[in-house]
Amino acid sequence: DLGADLLVLGTLARSGVAGVIIGNTATMPQRGVAVTFEGWRGGIVPLSGARLSDVTTVTPAAVLAGALAAAEVFAMLRGEVEAGHRNLGLSLWRPDRSHDWTVAAGDGPALAALPNHLWILGLGHLGQAFLWTLMLCPYSDRAAVRLVLQDTDEVTGSTDSTSILTQEGMLGRRKTRAVADVLDQQGFNTVLVERPFDGGFRRRSEDDPAVLVCGVDNALARSQVEMPGFPFVVEAGIGASAQDFRALRVHTFPSPKSAAEMWGQGAHARGAADLSRPGYRRLSDAGSDICGLTRLAETAVGAPFVGAVAGCLMLAQVLRVLAGDFPDTLIDLDLRSIRSRRAVTNGRLTLFNPGFQPAA
């Protein structure tokens, strides 16, 4: 439906294109990776590598494995030397690099509870990736799940190219209404908020969710995520340039450093584009004008598999709280070098009722 070309397995094996193996097959591509997951752990291994059991009740672990496979195929097509020849993955329970995702020591308990009342701020790349993963979870009663969706933007061509729930025919519609249609069709209850998230916004404790999930790229909005008074906030951001678009960070609040300190006025001044890099020099030598190069250097870049990884990590923070665990105050990773990731435990969270239902 999305325009893929379907090939016979034998043709695929001879074609040399990068392949992704999901489950078992007697026919193997010449190159590629295998998706694997177990418990809270998900990742990829080379075609001949040892796989996990591929059994889990923690849906985000399987989604994570699929997103990492897409990232690895991208790296293979870019000609990156290690791509397709390495184990890559992480544990959503213990995402720090000190935990080996291939062994059970980094795993958590069986999934017992799922969130049933959430406020989602931002319905672009990250917000839709989070909701996609949430939709796939084993809910026993979707009708009891209430999702508050907040955004002020309309669906554009860039939304369609990077956001996983956006489909043909949604262009020009408000993101809240387009995403709500998808969720409603899946049996969830939605409430729409189409006003800006500004300094005057407040949570009403008697009927608003206790958990805010934020996936916006607006520094001002991010600096104010603690102001409305949500007991628990999960926030994520991704890189936007050709140099860092495979990088992502996840934060939770309250934390030792406030959101206002991270993204307040003057905290992150945007630097000028570095036109001395080799690619820009080649374009300049070929006659491109400096203004055109500056616009090219400042063009935002996004890949859906990056948002999908971030969405899994964001949902995992909520699931860990429901399991009685402390979330991470920071997760910092780059898909170009996932082994160098880091995660810092958040010990500042106080007890609260996040709203939940038993997993099916």
Which residues are designated catalytic? Answer: 291
Nearest to 56 by CA among 32, 26, 89: 89
Q: Which own/partner pairs from 168-176 qualify as long-range (CB within 8 Å, at least 24 positions apart)?
A: 175/123, 175/124, 175/151, 176/123, 176/149, 176/150, 176/151
What's the Cα-to-Cα distance from 325 to each of 162, 206, 253, 319, 349, rounded to whole Å? 32, 25, 15, 9, 10
Q: 270-300 burial, b for 16+ CB within 10 Å, e for fewer?
A: eeebeeeeeebeebeeeeeeeeebeeebeee
243 neighbors 298 (Cβ within 8 angstroms): no
CA distance 192 to 224: 20
Q: What is the DSSP letter of 326?
A: -
